[in-house]
Amino acid sequence: MKIRILWLFIIFGLKNNGVFAQDKVTLSGIVSDVKNNETLIGVNILFPELNTGATTNEYGFYSITIPKGTYRIVISYLGYRDISETISFETNLNKDFSLAEAFENLNEVIITENVEKLNIKKPQMSVNTLTSNTIKQIPVVFGEADVIKAITLLPGVTNAGEGSSGFNVRGGAADQNLILLDEATIYNSSHLFGFFSVFNPDAIKDLKLYKGGIPARYGGRVSSVLDIYQKEGNSKEFHVNGGIGLISSRLLAEGPINKGQGSFLLGGRATYAHLFLPIFDIENKAYFYDLNTKISYKLNQNNNVYLSGYFGRDVLSFSDSFKNTYGNTILNFRWNHLFSDKLFSNLSLIYSDYYYGLDLGFIEFNWNSGIRNFNLKYDFKHYLSNKIKLQYGLNSIYHKFNPGEIEPSNPESGINAQKLIDKYGFENAIYIDVEHKLTNRLMASYGLRYSSFLRLGQDELNMYTNDQAVIYNQDLQIYQKAVPIGAESYKRSDVIESFGNLEPRLALAYELNSSSSIKASYNRMNQYLHLLSNTSSPTPLDIWTPSGKYIKPQQLDQVALGYFKNFKDNIYSLEVETFYKKVKNRIDYIDGADLIANNAIEQVILNGEAKAYGLEVLFRKNLGRFKGWFAYTLSNSEQRTPGRTPYEPGINNGDWYKTPYDKTHDVSITASYDLTRKWSFNINFLFQTGQPITYPNAQYVYNGLNIPNYGLRNEYRLPTYNRLDVSATYTPKPDKNTGWQSEWVFGIYNVYNRMNAASISFKQNEETRVNEALRLSIFGIVPSISYNFKF
């Protein structure tokens, strides 16, 4: 019924907005960079006389319908020279445009591409865009440009501290973020347990982080969407660029295939610090390597195909006794097809795999686990009129979960092979998004997504009394694992449990004047996959598990309201947002839960709820010698798991408690200053409330040992976190645009050598026999130097 009402509303809007009116023509085409033929995202196609326009989509395509006549058209993209033409439009016209970079010298200031600017009119809110140039300018540890570290400098985004993987958005857990690389899901976004991210900044074309008001084309997670597209490669000339650092290097090559028609991109990164360890008689090793690939080919005017991939591995070993290997593999084949000048489509066939392996030589067995999926996506963008644009499509994902497998490395070890039961799921969705210009000042984006999840049959599933896998022992006053009363086996085609949910989305933007607007949004989302982790930051050992008979899908409802303003011709911009979100069925763990190699994980999980709310401020200076932003977040993130009956206390006595990723205050300042054409400087300052932690509140003596007694969950906090980073970039020949071009980057991470606490643990002092707190800090001051080049 809801879907029928939505379609009636759309059709009514079409009639009232003159979609079926006569004497109109459609202009469509592709906008690209004249130098490398790379398509450009977000280019403005403007008709000043008609006071209307359009922008290019993720593949550089645009479409706009106008009355017949002769008009001036302006193609505008910051960092590129404008194109202005007068064209007579009597019939539909397909026209491609190529833009040339514009380096405009104003007192030695270079105006460069800036797709990060604030769009006042668009209803989309709670979204941030960063370019690879901005990411490369931010000082980071070891001097390696890092996507994840960059987005944690934005309001509403944090992580669990230094040396931690993943990121948290608006008080959500790391597993609640959907991370896409060329539409394929990345399950672990970090190398070396969080010191590096898996994304090579040289290969990135576009990055968007959606924190709220998420369009209906996205689903499957309840906190955010990080959508990253790789470059397509230069289809006109062969080029190479790369960088050499103290502990890692990278190299990327791109060039044409059948010049002007196709292109390839091949990039790789690796660390090599472990190669020097034998010099110091150290047998331990820790390193990573990854590979980015992409092939693009234009078959004809209406058809383009892309084949992109990523492969990454981390290796951590201690002599011959322990070896840990993990990483992501993705492959995506995409077909862009233009049905007409108003209907654009993209068909994607995607494979994604995350693998985790342990080689435990000292006890002679191997362990491996992971998650694998096959994804079919078919998306359409329909340019009905200048006032109404539709996006609709479908998505089907087949999941296979490998919770773990033990294999003896030596047949004589006495260890028996053991396989935890594989799990399977089938996730489906259909959606429609509408972008609707209701009046000259009011724009709306509304849509509906229907998602479903089928928990497919597995070899064996435990059965419990009253379907309760966790029981409460009133005598001991603790939660315990229930004893199975039997087990049931299923065929793979059987459906053990099914879920289906409607997910409405709505965003509104009201333009107060040409430079300011207010926006509001609401979205509901469902998450059918859960990351089992007993740490505040994801680790490679964490296991993904699907919703099913004993684990319910998470469901989010989020609302947001914001004020947005540009100052002085977009030189400055201000974004102020407030949000509130609530999540049902957030999993929580009973005390003493064992998550590793657990074949009945439902025995240690209870379903609870979570909520978060806050205020975000982002003030940017976008142009000039001095650029950067100030970000501040005031927020609160809590969860609770009440008892299932009046006799059960629940977790933490059923009271709300701080999530491990709650940070009341979060301040970041990021700035760059172009001193001369050769020298530029960058700073980065962070101040954050310490993350919640559980401390002991008493101790008792047992057999001569002092045993700590821990209080309520996350009742205390780590000390406040703060840090200052600086870097300087030296370009020897800034005016050189051909041949060998290079730059040196000098950096200092944590300038004043603050030893921020990554964790605080408690142990008994062997001499005094008294419990004491031990503070662990990951980094003090870390200098770095790297050399970047291209030719």
pLDDT digits (tens, 9 = 90+) for 559-611: 999 999 998 877 899 999 999 999 999 988 888 888 777 888 889 999 999 99
pLDDT category of residue 222 using cuts at 50, 70 and 90: very high
Beta carbons of 384 and 390 less than 8 angstroms apart = yes
**CB of 332 closer than 8 Å to CB of 307:** yes
Q: Residue 2 — pLDDT band, cuts 50, 70, 90?
A: very low
- Is residue 637 scored above 80 in pLDDT? yes
Q: pLDDT at residue 103 above 80?
A: no
**Contact indicator for 102, 77 with CB cutoff of 8 Å:** no
- Pick the closest to residue 724 from 772, 682, 676 (CA basis): 682
**Parallel, antiparallel, or unpaired for β 423-437 and 486-488?**
unpaired
pLDDT tens digits for range 355-409: 988 887 767 778 888 999 999 999 999 998 888 999 999 999 999 999 888 888 7
Q: Please compute the mean of the pLDDT values over residues 120-149 and round it to a whole number.
A: 81
User: How much is the pLDDT for 279?
Assistant: 64
- Token readout for 407 is 């294999």
Average pLDDT, stretch 80-91?
A: 85
Q: What is the DSSP letter of 623?
A: S
Contact yes or no for 217/245 (Cβ under 8 A): no
> Is residue 287 scored above 90 in pLDDT?
no
Measured CA distances, 761 to 696, 754, 772, 775 (Å): 10, 19, 8, 7
What percent of the chain is predicted at pLDDT more than 70?
A: 92
Q: Residue 111: what pLDDT?
A: 35
Q: What is the mean pLDDT of residues 408-434?
A: 86
Strand partners, 209: 128, 226
Q: How confident is the model at residue 537 (pLDDT cuts 50, 70, 90)?
A: low
- Pairing type for strands 657-658 and 626-640 reads antiparallel
Look at the block and give the residue holding tokens 């240690």: 604
Residue 559 tokens, joined: 């609302």
Q: How far apart, in whole angstroms, are the C-alpha atoms of residue 219 and residue 248? A: 35
Question: pLDDT at position 771, please?
Answer: 72
> Which residue pairs from 45-54 have beta carbons closer than 8 angstroms and sit at least 24 positions apart in sequence?
45/73, 45/74, 45/75, 46/73, 46/74, 46/75, 46/76, 47/71, 47/72, 47/73, 47/74, 48/72, 48/74, 52/386, 54/383, 54/386
Which of these ranges, 84-88, 176-180, 253-257, 468-472, has the smallest mean pLDDT? 84-88
* pLDDT at residue number 7: 44
Q: Give residue 442's pLDDT band: very low, low, confident or very high (50, 70, 90).
A: very high
- With beta carbons less than 8 A apart as the criterion, state whether 212 and 222 touch: no
Could you tell me the two tokens for 103?
A: 């380096």
83 or 508, higher pLDDT: 508
- Find the mean pLDDT for residues 684-711: 81
Q: Which pair of tokens denotes residue 387?
A: 């006032």
Which residue would you say has higher pLDDT here, 232 or 116?
Answer: 232
Percent of the chain at pLDDT above 90?
A: 45
Residue 105 has what pLDDT?
Answer: 41
pLDDT exceeds cutoff 70 at 443: yes
For residue 624 the two structure tokens come to 């000039």
User: Residue 516: CB partners within 8 Å, gap ≥ 6?
Assistant: 120, 563, 564, 565, 566
pTM score above 0.75:
yes
Token pair in block for residue 487: 């087990």
* C-beta of residue 602 within 8 angstroms of C-beta of residue 594: no
The pLDDT assigned to 8 comes to 44
Determine the straight-line distance between the first and last CA of the chain, rounded to whole angstroms: 59
Percentages helix, strand, coil for the chain (3-state, rounded to 5) are: 5, 55, 35
Mean pLDDT of the chain: 86
Chain-centroid distance, C-alpha 762: 34
pLDDT of 577: 96
Write down the pLDDT at residue 709: 75
With a cut of 70, say whether residue 540 has pLDDT above it. no
HEC letters along 463-503:
ECHHHCCEEEECCCCEEEECCCCEEECCCCCCEEEEEEEEE
Q: What's residue 5's pLDDT?
A: 44
pLDDT at residue 538, rounded to an integer: 60
| CA 62 to each of CA 59, 97, 184, 712: distance values in angstroms, whole numbers, following the listed order | 9, 11, 24, 56
Q: What is the pLDDT of residues 108-127, one digit of tens each?
A: 333 333 444 446 778 888 88
The rounded distance, in Å, linking the Cα atoms of 717 and 636 is: 14
Which H, E and C letters describe 500-564, residue by residue?
EEEEEEEEEEEEEECCEEEEEEEEEEEECEEEECCCCCCCCCCEEEECCCCCCCEEEEEEEEEEE
783 vs 322 pLDDT, higher one: 783
Examine the pLDDT at 18 and tell me if it is beyond 80: no
Mean pLDDT of 460-489: 90
Q: Which residues contact 408 (CB under 8 A, 6 or more apart)?
A: 364, 365, 366, 415, 416, 417
pLDDT at residue 734 above 60?
A: yes
